[in-house]
Amino acid sequence: MPIACYPWSMLGLTFLDGVAFGYFAVAWAAYSWLVEVWGGGRRGLTATMAEYRRAWMTEMLVRPNRIVDTQINMTLQQGSSFFASTSLLAVGACLGLMNASDRALEVVQSLSLGHAGSRQQWEIKLAGLLVIFVYAFFKFGWAYRLFNYCAILIGATPEGDRRGSDEAKAMAERAARMNTIAAAHFNRGQRAFFFALGYLGWFAGPIVFMVATTAVFAVLYRRQFYSESRQSVL
């Protein structure tokens, strides 16, 4: 098939743009797999913290009151709320740039590294960035709701003389699982933010796009498996 017949050529993009975007998608998917599947066996930072969430709920059972636990959960909720609001601001910024595409193109073209291309290319790239932030918003919004459900499960966990019962242990395990699932969605939202930084390289050209994506992948991989923060919790 001639290069001109590839799908991205119909969108005004070059073959190298298509390769760079494919590389970006593969890098994001590969990192997600490394963290959520392979990382469990390698005891990555995320998998290790999931074990501490379970330990947290086990300790919650023996505390005379659960004010500390609800405050910790509330802090996690607030973090999700903050990033959800930030995602909406980013979505609004993308829509604003689309509305002022001509002016934005002039500014980018005036930069030494500017490679905005045509208006069609600019709007397609912005649409991709918009999708990333919308995805992040849904992840943070769902994480906020799941942390809320976790608070309900904490409140429903038997206490007093029943704190050592099988029912209490089962409820604590449910709360731990709910908290871990909420954290997974929060992490996916943050991952979208980080890879959005790599995506910004596309506005400077496909080569810069791939270099920026590689840099984001390398930084996240090191922090997940070889950072001081990981060593501190092992």
Displacement of CA 6 from its chain's centroid (Å): 30
Alpha helices per DSSP H over the chain: 7-10, 15-33, 39-42, 45-62, 67-99, 101-110, 119-156, 166-199, 206-225, 228-233
Token digits for 228? 């001081």
For residue 5, is pLDDT > 60?
no
158-171: average pLDDT: 85
User: What's the alpha-carbon Rg for the chain, to the nearest Å?
Assistant: 22
For residue 109, is pLDDT > 70?
no
- When comparing pLDDT for 113 and 108, which is higher? 108
Stretch among 39-48, 58-67, 146-155, 205-214 having the lowest mean pLDDT: 39-48
Stretch among 62-76, 78-92, 111-125 having the lowest mean pLDDT: 111-125
Residue 148: predicted pLDDT:
95
Residue 117: predicted pLDDT:
63
For residue 175, is pLDDT > 60?
yes
For residue 196, is pLDDT > 60?
yes
For residue 28, is pLDDT > 60?
yes
For residue 15, is pLDDT > 80?
yes
72-80: average pLDDT: 94
76-96: average pLDDT: 94
CB distance 189 to 136 below 8 Å: yes
Residue 105: predicted pLDDT:
66
Residue 1: predicted pLDDT:
44
CB distance 44 to 234 below 8 Å: no
- When comparing pLDDT for 231 and 214, which is higher? 214
112-122: average pLDDT: 65
Q: What is the mean pLDDT of the chain?
A: 87
Torsion of CA 180, 181, 182, 186, to 10 degrees: 100
Residue 230: predicted pLDDT:
85
